[in-house]
Chains A and B, each alone.
Chain A
Amino acid sequence: MMRDERIKRTQNRIAVRGFGLWYILLLAALLYRQFYLGLPASEYWDVALIFFIGTLYVVIAGFSQGAIYETSVVRSAKWAAPVILFSIVAANLYQGTIQSLVDLVGVVLSASVGLLAFGLVCYYLYQRWLRKNILDN
């Protein structure tokens, strides 16, 4: 059967919506296990890993293939980074891994370094795509 551009576009649209549905439902399943059932991480680490890998792929692919609008990302990062940091601290507080100020500082520092490193990797990937596709040498 011929798969012309219209069929490919329609199938891609369906796949994107399917992925979005899967993504939201998987997140819901994770949150259900963690907060409603109160299960330890050892009970749902596999689901969390699948979710994490899927998220990582979408973000990395977005930056490395130019599927982002740079200005809006930079603007978003200014408020997104503190929100992500706060979420990580809150999650650690909930899990009981922060017992002292030293623990708190350690979590904030390690999360900050991790976020910064990830941001730099994304920035490098995006710049590489720009150099290859857009900028004149």
Chain B
Amino acid sequence: MNNKNRVKLARIENDLTQAQLAEQVGVTRQTISLIERGRYNPTLNLCLGIATAVNKTLDELFWVVEDDHDER
């Protein structure tokens, strides 16, 4: 089971750089980059912080993708 997100899209829609979003939610730019690339799973608090910063709801930003082998 993998997680996907639209953090990058939402960030761009709000005309924010990674650094600006990072500063708003209180993390490093590297962390935002890793979240956007799906290389880091943020805590619920951070997810909520990002959602607030980009004016989205949690399920608009993050969702679960079932593995292909689960469908066989």
Prevailing SS type, chain B contact patch = loop
Q: Which residues of A contact B63 (CB under 8 A)?
A: none
Number of interface residues of A (CB under 8 A): 5
Nearest CB on A from B22, distance (A):
8
Tally A-B pairs: CB < 8 A: 21
What is the total number of residues of chain B having a CB less than 8 Å from a CB of chain A? 11
Contact with B along A1-18 (1 / 0, CB 8 A): 010111100000000000
Q: List residues of chain B with CB within 8 A of the CB of A5.
A: 27, 31, 42-43, 45-46
B38 CB to nearest chain A CB (Å):
13
**Is B34 part of the binding interface, using a Cβ–Cβ cutoff of 8 Å?**
yes
Q: Which chain B residues border A6 with CB–CB below 8 Å? A: 27-28, 30-31, 34, 40, 42
Residue of B nearest to A3 (CB): B28
A-chain residues with CB within 8 Å of residue B27 when the two chains form the complex: 2, 4-6
- Give 16 pairs: A residue, B residue, CB < 8 Å, sorted on A: A2-B27, A4-B27, A4-B28, A4-B31, A5-B31, A5-B43, A5-B45, A5-B46, A6-B28, A6-B30, A6-B31, A6-B34, A6-B40, A6-B42, A7-B28, A7-B31
Question: Which residues of A does B touch, CB under 8 Å?
Answer: 2, 4-7
